[in-house]
Structures are given as structure tokens and as C-alpha cells.
Amino acid sequence: MSSVVCKFLHTRMRVSDLDETVEFYQNVFGLEVTKRHESPRGSKLVFLSVPNSDEEIELTYFPGSGPVVVQEDLMHLAFEVESMSVFQTHVESLGLSLSDGPTSSSSGSTFAFVDAPDGYEIEIIERPKN
């Protein structure tokens, strides 16, 4: 059977403050805005490109939905970094901190977490060098 799905395109996350969240992803992860627009129902949308990936992150702000409440440990995004120590130094230079880790795994990877605005959790992974 051939695949029904052709390609994974994006992940959508609703946020309380669109500008703050876009700035966070740009400053912390170096993501770039590829598109901004407003939907017919009034949602403000921003798409962010992820380096070395075709997938994007869609951030959505819809005032009529009320504040965003993210359930702890419900979902997370994960990004690979070349060096956890370089990433940690970068995050701290922005006045932020890791919310958990760094921790070494049995596979040889090192992982940590940083919290985005609204409490979305983002995993950072440094894979072992071969």
C-alpha cells in the first residue's frame, strides 16, 4: 500500500502573546519567520522555519479563545544541538535558564529542557559524536 500522507508540514501551537513567543523562538533557537497572516476568523498566524528541516512551527493567537493553559508534560518540541554547553551558555546569555538537565542518557545523548512562553516544554538533545 502506498502512503496516504505525502509530507509532514507543521505543528500548530496556540499562544497568549504572539510577539513574545516569536521573539523567544527567534532568539533562543534561531528560527525564522516565513509567513505572517490573519485567518478569516481573526486568528493571527506566524510560521517559523526550523533549520535543516522542511517542517515548520505555526504559532496562533486568537483573542477570543482566552489565555493559553498548557498542561504539564502533555507535549513538547525537540531540537538537536551540536553542543549542550554552548546552547546552555547561549540561553543564559539571554537571561533564561534550562528548566531541567542537562542529563546523560544510556544511549550516549545528553538532553535538557527549556520552557517557552505559556509553559510549552522544549527538549534539547546533543547526540553522541561518532
* Per-residue model confidence as pLDDT tens digits over 67-89: 888 888 778 899 999 999 999 99
- 99 domain residue, yes or no: yes
Tell me which of 74 and 20 has the higher pLDDT.
Answer: 20
What sign for the dihedral angle of Cα 85, 49, 130, 102?
positive
What is the predicted pLDDT for the residue at 47?
A: 97
What is the predicted pLDDT for the residue at 23?
A: 97
Residue numbers of the domain that contains 90: 70-130
Which band of pLDDT confidence, cut at 50, 70 and 90, is reported for residue 45?
Answer: very high
Q: Is the pTM of this model over 0.85?
A: yes
- 121 domain residue, yes or no: yes
- 2 domain residue, yes or no: no
Which whole number is the average pLDDT over 25-30?
96
Q: Which three cell numbers stand for residue 27?
A: 532568539
Q: Is residue 67 helix, strand or coil?
A: coil
Q: Is the pLDDT of residue 64 over 90?
A: no
Catalytic residue among 32, 92, 121, 123: 123
Which whole number is the average pLDDT over 1-8?
78
| Domain limit, last residue, from 47, 63, 79 | 63
- Phi and psi dihedrals of 70, rounded to 5? -95, 125
Query: What is the domain count for the chain?
Result: 2
Q: Tell me if residue 123 is catalytic.
A: yes
Give the number of other Cβ atoms within 10 Å of residue 117's Cβ.
Answer: 18
What is the predicted pLDDT for the residue at 1?
A: 57
Give the number of other Cβ atoms within 10 Å of residue 75's Cβ.
Answer: 10
Residue of 128, 124, 54, 55 lying closest to 91 (CA atoms): 124
List pLDDT tens digits, range 97-113.
Answer: 999 999 999 999 999 99
The letter for the amino acid at 38 is E
What is the predicted pLDDT for the residue at 72?
A: 80
